[in-house]
Structure 1
Amino acid sequence: MKATYNLYKRTLMEVVPLFDKQRWKLKIRGKIALGYIIILLMLGLYLVIVSYRISDLEKETVFLSEHDVQVHELTYQIEKNVLDMETGQRGYALTDNTEYLTPYNAGLIEWRINYAKLKGLLADNPAQIQNLDDIKSNIELWVSSAGEYVIDLKRNGQNEAVTAYYQNDTGKPIIDLIRSESEYFRDNERNLTNERIIILKQGNDKLLTTMYLLWSVVTLIAILITIVISRSIVNPLQRVILAINNIASGGNMSERIEVKTIDEIYDLGEATNRLLETVQREQWNNEQLTLMSVLLQETVDLPILCRTFLNKLSTILEMQYGAIYVQNEEKQFERIYTYAGNGKNKDFPVTNSISLGEGLVGQCAMDKRMTVIEDLPEDYIRIHSGLGRTAPRFAVIAPVIFENKIIAVIEIASLTKWATYHLDLLTDLLNMLGVTLNSVTTRMEIQKLYGDSQVMNEELQVQSEELQVQSEELQSYTQELIILNKDLNNQKTEAEIAAIELEEFNEQLQLSSRYKSEFLANMSHELRTPLNSMLILSQLLAENRNETLNQEEQGYASVIYSSGNDLLNMINDILDLSKVEAGKMLVEYDAVNLTELSPMLQAYFRQTAEQKNLDFSINLGNNVPNLFYTDGMRLHQILRNLLSNAFKFTEKGSVHVEVARLESFHSPSYESEGPVLSFSVKDSGIGISEENNDLIFEAFRQADGSTARKFGGTGLGLSISLQLARLLGGQILLQSVPGEGSNFTLYLPCREEDPEYDAVTSKFRVEVAVSRETIEEIYRDPTNNGGTFDKEYPLLCGKTVLIVDDDTRNIFALRKGLEPYDMNILTAQTGFECLQIVREQPDVDIVLLDIMMPNLDGYDTLSIIREELLLPEIPIIAISAKTMKEEREKCLSAGATDFICKPVVMHEVVSRMYKWLNHTK
């Protein structure tokens, strides 16, 4: 105990001077000075509060004199503006002299300016703002129903209507109401002024009361400061003296001195506490080392040794996970024991063997130094208990060294960060483990060598007998190899000839596929070009804008539009089938929101179900995830094809969609490695016979393929759907009974994580999907104008649009579609004409540019406008009959502002024009 007391004295001698150098701490004399400073500050605060209150009274007086006068002046000014407008209106109506409109127009502007100023002054008075808004509403009512109305009548020469108006003069009651409301408003302001005067007087009375109260507070605080400072010095000193006596006499060292003040006594208390902690920590470390030494000396087996060490270490240190890797004969670090871990659990490491320099464990063995890792990521490992699991926040990877040789590595994880003395204790424990581990492994190696020597003697006898037999067999194998070598040479020659023939066939197949793709692309362009004008004009006829068609003729136009739309769908189906057969159909994974599936399908097929009087329902299972990853556009295409067939072949009953999640699925034609989503489309229609179950999935095949068949269609829908399902990693299976109905089920992998995330591609996919669904929504209703004509007309009216297309039919259709918007329409049939018009007429506001044109196509025209004519701001909407994704990207790269596929929908064209003209406004 005397040695402990001497250690305490040395610690005090070293620590106290150190704290004297820390001038930022408040010393005892500083506390006394601080007390006087606080009292002075309180007096200063007293003066500041009094002066601040006096300043507030001055501001209130100024506010009273300026604000109220300005409010009254502005109300009279607004009344005068209204009188000017009334006088100007009457003068113009009586004389038809436009000079009378000068005071009217001036008053029309000035009353709003005065209103804004007045409203800003009344920001703190909602009641007066409401009165002011009532005045504003009546002024606007007079302007719209009397002022502008009479002026417009006079401008249009309707003198009789003007005379009739003044016989009733509906504007005069409004003017009288404005005057009465203004007077009521001013009366309220006068009352408010009187109230402010009373408040100002009350403020003066409060100032005197505040002065007396603050003086009393300052006196009380001065007394309290004196008491607090004296106690803060005496009480801690008494506790420090008691703690020193306990150390000297060997008393209780678990108690700590608590000093709440930051001064010399605080430094003394902290030094005493550190001394107590150091003595206690050294005693605890020695006890743990002794206990661990006893446990390790009792073990002679390597796994038991590792288990004993880690289990005891978990009770000494705050450790929730640990593993020991011991170096084996192959210089690999083999995991011998894991504390609180399970190698079969996916949340724990499964690496059982680590090479030198491999990962952090291997690198720790190579560097022979401890590695401490803080702020571990969430997916490092999981620490499990019976109630849950969590991720650690702190890890230590340390080598076990004996005679400067690495023999093992220990990895430890904890939920809390360790103190420095924990790491020091761990180092001592690892040194102890190294000695014991070396002793155990040496003993085990000796036993192994002895056993191996006995086994080797027995094996040598057996091998000598086997070598004699093998020598005889080798001679026969040599003869067989000579014959086999000759056969292989002959087969090699034949294989080379077959490879050459296969390569030639492959080149011919690729050439044929390319010719087919080019033909279909050209056919698409040639069909879409006349189809574009046919759809636009038939839509315009169906809308009957001029009301020149009767109901029967409108029906004809709707039939033409519907037939053209069916032809467009047929073209799309043929192109899709061609892309699938050529292997060029791209699968683009993105997040699909299954909660939006029901409203989307209802929007597509609700009207069909109502027309055929069929029950249509969609149900999502409870275990179906909200999001999963697949090609959303292809999924919707498959479901729409299946539902279209269901409605086509169902005359009565119901069509039902069921979405469910299956943990696994196995069938002769499809097996899943993980969970799958099933999309079942059930109907009560005509059903399909068993012999036609496979045939209906072939291209251009239907269950009823005769020329007198009842149901139409190309027979491509199911074939395309099956190919798309396989591209998505799924399958479509059919269950059907003739006369009872069919059940088509689409199975897709339930991917709940993005397999190929790409932010840019994902954004493009969303845009394309939304655009395509919007177009299809418009196709279903050819008379739909979007209900937005009133919004689009004011912006488009008077704007100049340049239509560029080499087909006069498309120019004619677009011109007719844009006529109701009163736009200035310019046309060009070549890229050269387009460039000439853009150069000569700089007032072109927007360009609709066809891409596929002879000589100078749309791409080159775009580049010249952007780069040579230096017109980067003018909106240019590219229009193309090519529908591939690459076409849109190519047009945007060339300088297009937007992209639309042919055949275009007039409402989409107008909406895009509105969007970009509004964007550049």
Structure 2
Amino acid sequence: MNYKKRQVLGFGGLLVILLSVLAAAAGFLYFNNESVNVDMESRYGKMKAASDLRSAFYALDSELGRLVNEDDDARIAARLERIEEYRRQSLERLMFAESLNVSAQGKARLAAIRLDYEDYLNAARSLTKEIAGGAAPAATEALAQTTEEGRAQLIENLDAFQAAQEKALEQSRNRTSEMTQFMLWAIAIAVPLLILLSALLMLWTIRGTTRSLRDVTDVMRGVDFNRSESLPRLRTDTNDEIGNIALSFNEMAESLETHNRNTRELNEELEEHNWIQTALAESSALYQNINSLEQLASTFLRKIVPLTGSAYGVFYIRREDEELKRIASYAGYPAGEPAETFRMGEGLVGRAAESGETLSVDDLPNHYLRIASGIGEMPPASLLLVPVRFEQRVEAVVEFASLAAFTPAQKRLVEQLMNTLGIALNSVSGRMEVDRLLRESQMLSEELQTQTEELQAQSEELQAQSEELRSQQDTLRGANSLLERTNIQVEEKNRLLEVVQRELVRNSEFQSEFLANMSHELRTPLNSILILSQILSEKDEKPLTGQEKDYASTIYRSGKDLLALIDDILDLAKAEAGQMEVTIEPYNVTELPHSMEGLFGEVAKRKGVGLDMIVEPDAPELIWTDGRRLEQIVKNLLSNAIKFTPQGSVSLRIGTADSESETGEPTLRLQVSDTGIGIAEDKRSLIFEAFRQADSATERVYGGTGLGLSICREFSRLLNGRIEVDSVAGEGSTFTVILPLDLRDEQQTETEDLFKSGYARPAIAPGISKLPMPSDQEGDLELFRDRKLLLVDDDARNIYAISVALENKGADIGIAENGREALDILESDPTYDMVLMDIMMPVMDGYETMKAIRSKPQFGDLPIIVLSAKAMKDEREMCLAAGASDYISKPLDIEKLFSMMRVWLSN
């Protein structure tokens, strides 16, 4: 039964019952009202008729009584008329009563009344005649007596009739009351039954509807939209609107599942397409800056093997002899290396190359191949061999092995990658061919240059002969020469103007070059002073007296102080010119107080100044910065603080700055405070200028160059930080350095830049760090004894100092004063074990000499250590790029030089 029928049946039945009850009640009321009306009209009419009849009879009887006693004729006549009128009225009312619908008993009673009334009227008529005729009173009285007897009988009957009508009226009223009482009881019983029946009908209707709706609601609430491809269904066992809703919902769910399934499949296709396109786009960048097929194959496998979910990969290239040669592999190891070559059609690799079709092999046996990891081995589950084509020709075959079966998307990706790989193979092959042709062209160009030089020599001879011929044409030549000189002068002036302009632009470069040259000239004699003074102070044979050792130590310390001053000047010049480099590495800040205590503790103690080192709880333990530059900043600040504090204390406080850097990262705070002479407010801007102090009096009293704070400021900027000063004259000063905690994202270390450039070789050969390095004197004598070392330097002082130090080790020293002599010596005696090379030399400098040495195959592995006093930017990189094995700057730390030589001689 559908919802509409159930509603119609329920509420329709309720309405029918209600209408039935209302109709029954209305019918009963109508019937009762009609019955009452009928009874009232009938009974009341009958009672009124009886009453009227009785009244008329009484009036008639009363007039008769008066007539009997009346003696006036006139009044007798009047009374007779009234008696006649009353008689007539009595008859009319009797006839009216008889015309009413009465019961049989009533009719009998009316018949008796009529008989008695007629007897009475006859007697009354006789009486009136007697009285009208003048009869004797005795006769009249007898007649009146007769009339009185009839009157009594008539009144009795009238009373009986009226009593009967009153009784009937009372019975009718009782019946009406009983019927009303019955109706009230019926309504009292019918209304609860009607309410109960209505409630049952409503409950049946609502329960059936809500049960169906609840089933629908429960199913709809139970829909899991995360599993939109498997939606619940509604029962359709009812043929009503809810059943139609369930049917529509099921159809909608099926449509939605189909739509979601189609959408998922479409999204998967789009994701697969996007994944393939992204992989293709990323792979296109792999082929840039590739100069060999091996590099291309290795780069391709490193990128594509993980991308395809593979665990193993091999790259075979097709050679001109129609063999497929393995040039790269991924995740290979010696025990499981694949075959080196395949012929066309041989094995799966050769078959894929010959057919030009992709081969896929699943369900491999366990012994086919083992893919190794750190903790074990496992067999692959699937192989994929893909040919690489260019212009319909197979150029290579790439084989992949996976621990799981390859998906269709992975296969499509690999096949599409092969198209671009074929183009890349052809491009790299073409570039290699171009490079080969270019090298051949360069060789031919060099030969052509040689022939050109020979022809030029012949041309010069011919020109000399022509000059002799031209000398005979003095007049003409003189005029031409004058004109040429004039043109040359004009051109020379123009060149001078250009030179001046270039000189103005390169002024800072000249300044740096000048400082570098001055550094070279200062470091060169200083190198000899330091080496010889160190040799004297450490001399074992014929040892010096105590005073002589003090002299040597004083010379050594003075040289070190002079070296520090030179380094400060060069560092300041480099920093101002933007040529200073930083080496970013982890630096333990908590060790800084210990090292500074070791440097300045004794100095402060001798001066009577307190030295406090404070590390705050929030201070970081490790930062990434240039530790050498940071220590230079702190050294200069502490040195100044102790110098300008006659009495009191100096403190170094390390913590985290309250304010963050511009990038929002936390910063390091280094604070050096003193209770010294302080700085006037108008002098604070001067103290950071090079070679300046607060005033000349300070310089005279305390000494110094005025470079310390300038270097601190430049180094702080170099480390992306800043330096602040807070000072009161006469009370002391506080210098605060704010530095970032991590410079790795902003700078790269010198070593990383060097190796990324691709032009430098490692300063230490692979594996050398694992060799034993003798540190004792006997080990050094054994290592250096009879070693032939070639020292190339144009400064006799350096030659003498270094030769003495090396000869004390038992080495055999050869000397060359320039690069040309060094080449001649090596040509005549190629048995030298090492070359110690200066850079700035006449005739041929160190760069050209090292390039010339490395160009000769027999000297490809000859160790060359550069001993340079030239403090230029990128000096180390330039030396290594020119062919140096290692680098050390002058003035030399002789022990560091010996350590470096031990490494290379051991190798």
TM-score by length of 1: 0.41
TM-score by length of 2: 0.42
State the structure with more CA Rg: 2
